[in-house]
Structure 1
Amino acid sequence: MDVITVVGIGPGDPKFGLLSHEALFEKADLILGTERHLEILPPQYAHKGLIPSKKLGEMRELILSYPEDTEIVYLVSGDPLVYGLGKWMSEKFPGRVEIFSGISAMQYLASRVFLPMNDAYLTSSHAKVPNFDLIMDLEKVFMVTDAKVGPYQIAQEAVQRGLKKTIIIGENLSYEDEKITILPAEEVEDRDYQMNVVVVMDER
Structure 2
Amino acid sequence: MITVIGIGPGNPQFCLVGQEKFYKEADVILGSSRHLEVIADKLQGKGVVAPKKLKDLEELLLTYPETTNLVYLVSGDPLIYGLGKWLTERFPGRIKLVPGISSMQYLASKVCLPMNDAYLTSSHAKEPNFELIMSLSKVFCVTDNKVGPYQIAQEVVKRGLKKTLIIGENLSYDNEKISIMAADQVLDRDYDMNVVVIVDER
TM-score range, shorter chain: over 0.9
Shifted more, 140-149 versus 44-53: the winner is: 44-53
Counterpart of 2:118 in structure 1 is: 120
Specify the code of the residue in structure 1 equivalent to 2:40.
Answer: P
Q: TM-score, normalised by structure 2?
A: 0.99
Q: Whole-Å Cα distance in 1 between the matches of residues 160 and 65 of structure 2?
A: 57
Aligned to 2:20: 22
CA RMSD between the two structures = 0.6
Aligned partner (choices 172, 176, 181) of residue 174 of structure 2: 176
Which residue identity is paired with 2:14? F
What residue number does 1:12 align with? 10
In structure 1, runs of 5+ residues without a counterpart are none
Is the counterpart of residue 102 in structure 1 residue 100 in structure 2?
Answer: yes
Q: Structure 2 stretches of 5 or more lacking a match? A: none
Aligned to 2:163: 165
User: Displacement, 1:8?
Assistant: 0.1
Secondary structure of the 1:181 match is: strand
Instruction: Write the distance in 2 (CA, Å) between the matches of 1:190 and 1:202.
Output: 21
Letter in 2 for 1:174: S
- The alpha-carbon deviation at position 201 of structure 1 amounts to 0.6
2:79 maps to which residue?
81
CA–CA distance in 1 between the matches of 2:141 and 2:20? 31
Q: How many residues align?
A: 202
* Equivalent-residue separation in structure 1 for 2:120 and 2:20 (angstroms): 31
Which residue of the other structure, out of 38, 47, 50, is the alignment partner of 1:40?
Answer: 38
Name the amino acid aligned to 2:188: D
TM-score by structure 1 length?
Answer: 0.98
Partner of 1:147: 145
**2:29 match: secondary structure:** strand
Opposite residue 58 of structure 1, the aligned amino acid is D
Task: Give distance in 1, aligned partners of 2:62 and 2:155.
Answer: 43
In 2, Cα distance between the equivalents of 1:114 and 1:130?
A: 26
Q: Write the deviation string for residues 88-124 of structure 1: whole angstroms up to 9, x where unpaired.
A: 1111111110000100000000000000000000000
How far residue 22 of structure 1 moved from its aligned partner, in angstroms, is 1.4
Give the percent of matched residue pairs that are identical in Structure 1 and Structure 2. Answer: 66
1:19 shift after superposition? 1.2
Instruction: Note the C-alpha offset of 1:23.
Output: 0.6
| Cα offset, 1:17, TM superposition | 0.5
Deviation track 1:140-167 (CA, whole Å, cap 9, x = no partner) reads 0000000000000000000000000000
* Alpha-carbon distance in structure 2 between the residues aligned to 1:147 and 1:117: 25
Amino acid at match of 1:91: E
Matches of 2:117 and 2:64, distance apart in 1: 43
